[in-house]
Amino acid sequence: MGERTDMRLLVLIARSEAAFDPLVTGLLDVGISGATVVESRGLAAVLRQDLPIFAGLAAFLPQTTGSRVVISLCGADRLEALRAYVAELPPGDRPLAIALPVDSFFGLEPTS
Amino acid sequence: MRSTCLLLCASSSASGGGMEALRVFAAAVIVVGFGLLATTAVFSRLQRNRFVAALIAGGLPAVATGWAIGPGGLNVVDDSTVLLLRPLLVACLGWVGVIVGMQLRASLLATVPPLLWRWALTDSVLSAAIAGTGAAAVLSWWFLPGSFGIETALVPTTLVACAAMGWSPETRSMRVVLTPSTQQMAMLIQGASGIAAAVAVAVLGVAAQLIRLQPDGTPVLDLRTAVVDLALTAATAAALGVAARHLLGLARRKRGALLVVFLGTVAAAAGIAVDLGFSPLLLPLLCGVMIANFGRERLASFELFIMRAEHVVALLLGLLAGVLLTPRIGLPGTGLVVAILAARILVKPVLARRTLGPVTHGDANRSPLRFAPLRQSQLSYVLAVSVVLAYDAPLTRTVLTAIVFAGAASDAVPLILGFRRHREVAQERRSVAGAEA
């Protein structure tokens, strides 16, 4: 277990398969090589599945739209480089990003 | 069935002056307000309640509001206002057609189990046969004595038959116990409902194409023209679908561009259909099929994007159904309600038991979901609205009203069963908690 005030919990949501690809490249470019990727879907998709009105057959559609959540623990120094990379992406490919300060962590070695 | 055509005679309501302008403004505010309401988090939150979910899926709040603001109530919206809102209404009908059509993607259909095809198609045939026969009998005895003929009765009879096909795909209100087995049952119910919806739109669209209105409003059966018209419908839909698919590929994930392409496609498909005297649902349905099947890449974001608007479109068309309602349907109209309900009661539970019984287990076998197919789909209101807009006459308005009344009645039984099961489950849980304590 380590006590590092300069670590950040990074949560990135890529809205589609096409947006996920450059995000992975960007993470590697800024030196973040460890992350957990979770396939996800938006709340709107969940609500829609509950209450279809006309298109019931859509229940058989794959429920993901290619969106993914990336969770990573990284050093605060990587954030600025990642922010600069994301800013250069086309608006449609930019992930939703959240960085939170980390009081403590255990169970893994950080990527920086 | 002498009729005027609300969709085609778009002129001549500019006479009213200030009062008319105020009325149109009020109608637009109500329509836009309703549309916005359906996009809010409050609306989504309300639907988490099972009772509200069932009510909204049935469409009755929107219909009741429509009736309250229509000629039967406050008279804020009347036929002339409906004419002025014509482009919006046509686009809404087209939207429904495209949504239903986009379900029919070959790769998706290949994953549908054979039992679901059998269920949906058997249900469509049997329900249509019972409701259609009942409707034909009612029409020949009461509505059209002496003038009953295929050209006068085909569209209203087919409308009643199509309204009886399928069921509401909403399952939230019926899933009292959330387990994998009830999830599987809900999925099967939704899937079969989707297939039946496509069948209903296609059958009514073809039937409407067989009838042509003469300049004096008299309907005639014209098979030769109908064949040409159907070919033209398919060709137009194919061209629009290919063009839309190409443009959607260019728009990719840009929401604004997607919206523009989709609205353009929907408005063009439904608008062309109406201007040519075709069904405003069939051409968009075929266009949706083309969009879904042309090209390899699945338009997942786009599918989600257009389906989000499902509730908005349903609310607006429910509102319109309420405005066009004529509640005094008398004995003949009641006969039509009975014909639809008879089809639902005689066919749906039996077929649901035969289909779902062997493949579902555990909680699902006690779930009120088994009775979900009793509930009429909101699509039936949409079908009825499209017919009233194309062939406006007292007869078609009575059929629309009968369909709405049948929908309200069909919602009641599964709702009651759902809440009874909900109470039972709550009681079982209390007993288990008591025993553990």
CATH (domain of A14): 3.30.70.120
H or E, element range at A94: none
For the cut 80, the answer to whether the pLDDT of residue A9 exceeds it is yes
pLDDT bucket at A110, cuts 50 / 70 / 90? low
B379 and chain A in contact, CB less than 8 A: yes
Give chain B positions within 8 Å (CB) of A15. 253, 301
Question: Nearest CB to A51: which of B172, B301, B379?
Answer: B172
pLDDT, position B294: 82
Nearest CA in chain B to A44: B308
Question: Across A81-90, B20-29, B141-150, B215-224, which has the greatest mean pLDDT?
Answer: A81-90
CA-wise closest residue to B300 among A44, A37, A82, A24: A44
Q: Tell me whether residues B300 and A18 touch, CB distance under 8 A.
A: no
Instruction: With respect to residue A2, please indicate whether it lies within any of the assigned structural domains.
Output: no
The Cα–Cα gap between B245 and B280 comes to 20
B195 and chain A in contact, CB less than 8 A: yes
Task: Taking residues B339-352, report their average pLDDT.
Answer: 94
pLDDT in tens, B270-321: 999 988 888 899 999 999 999 988 876 666 667 777 777 888 889 889 999 9
Q: Distance (Å) from the C-alpha of residue A42 to the closest C-alpha of chain B?
A: 10
Nearest CA in chain A to B193: A56
A51 and chain B in contact, CB less than 8 A: yes
Q: How far is CA B245 from CA B175, B184, B258, B265, B289, in A?
A: 37, 32, 11, 10, 11
Tokens describing residue B179: 């387990």
Give chain B positions within 8 Å (CB) of A47. 44, 47
pLDDT, position B11: 41
Task: Taking residues B152-162, report their average pLDDT.
Answer: 94
Q: Distance (Å) from the C-alpha of residue A13 to the closest C-alpha of chain B?
A: 15
| Contact call for residues B235 and B273 (beta carbons, < 8 A) | no
A90 and chain B in contact, CB less than 8 A: no
Q: Distance (Å) from the C-alpha of residue B373 to the closest C-alpha of chain A?
A: 12
Number of domains chain A contains = 1
pLDDT, position B397: 93
Tokens describing residue B243: 């063009």
Question: Nearest CB to A16: which of B102, B192, B253?
Answer: B253
pLDDT in tens, A44-76: 777 777 778 887 777 776 666 678 999 999 888
Give the count of beta carbons closer than 10 Å to the beta carbon of residue B87: 13
Task: Taking residues B165-174, report their average pLDDT.
Answer: 88
Instruction: With respect to residue A106, please indicate whether it lies within any of the assigned structural domains.
Output: no
Domain boundaries, chain B: 18-432
- What residues 314-373 of chain B have any CB closer than 8 A to a CB of chain A? 314
Nearest CA in chain A to B99: A55
Comparison of pLDDT for B381 and B369, the residue scoring more: B381
Quote the mean pLDDT of chain B: 85
Residue A28 phi/psi, 5-degree rounding, is -65, -40
Residue B232 phi/psi, 5-degree rounding, is -65, -40
For the cut 50, the answer to whether the pLDDT of residue B329 exceeds it is yes
pLDDT bucket at B14, cuts 50 / 70 / 90? very low
Task: State the residue range of the domain holding A65.
Answer: 7-101
CA-wise closest residue to B403 among B350, B353, B335: B335
For the cut 50, the answer to whether the pLDDT of residue B155 exceeds it is yes
A65 and chain B in contact, CB less than 8 A: yes
Q: Distance (Å) from the C-alpha of residue B377 to the closest C-alpha of chain A?
A: 8
Nearest CA in chain B to A67: B301
ipTM for the complex shown: 0.72
Long-range interactions of B352-355: CB distance < 8 A, separation 24+: B352/B119, B352/B189, B355/B115, B355/B116, B355/B118, B355/B119, B355/B188, B355/B192
**Percentage with pLDDT > 70 across chain A:** 86
> Number of A:B CB contacts under 8 A?
115
Comparison of pLDDT for B6 and B41, the residue scoring more: B41
Comparison of pLDDT for A100 and A52, the residue scoring more: A100
For the cut 60, the answer to whether the pLDDT of residue B389 exceeds it is yes
Single-letter residue type at B432: V
Q: Which fold is adopted by the domain B18-432?
A: Na+/H+ antiporter like fold (1.20.1530)
Q: Distance (Å) from the C-alpha of residue B328 to the closest C-alpha of chain A?
A: 28
Long-range interactions of B357-364: CB distance < 8 A, separation 24+: B359/B115, B359/B184, B359/B188, B360/B181, B360/B184, B360/B185, B360/B188, B361/B181, B362/B179, B362/B181, B363/B177, B363/B179, B363/B181, B363/B182, B364/B179, B364/B181, B364/B182, B364/B184, B364/B185
The Cα–Cα gap between A102 and B40 comes to 35
Q: Distance (Å) from the C-alpha of residue B71 to the closest C-alpha of chain A?
A: 27
H or E, element range at B180: helix B180-210
Question: Nearest CB to A57: which of B108, B172, B253?
Answer: B108
B57 and chain A in contact, CB less than 8 A: yes
Question: Nearest CB to A57: which of B53, B171, B195?
Answer: B195
- What's the CA angle centered on A24, arms A23 and A29, to 5 degrees? 95
For the cut 60, the answer to whether the pLDDT of residue B99 exceeds it is yes
pLDDT in tens, A22-51: 999 999 999 998 899 998 887 777 777 777
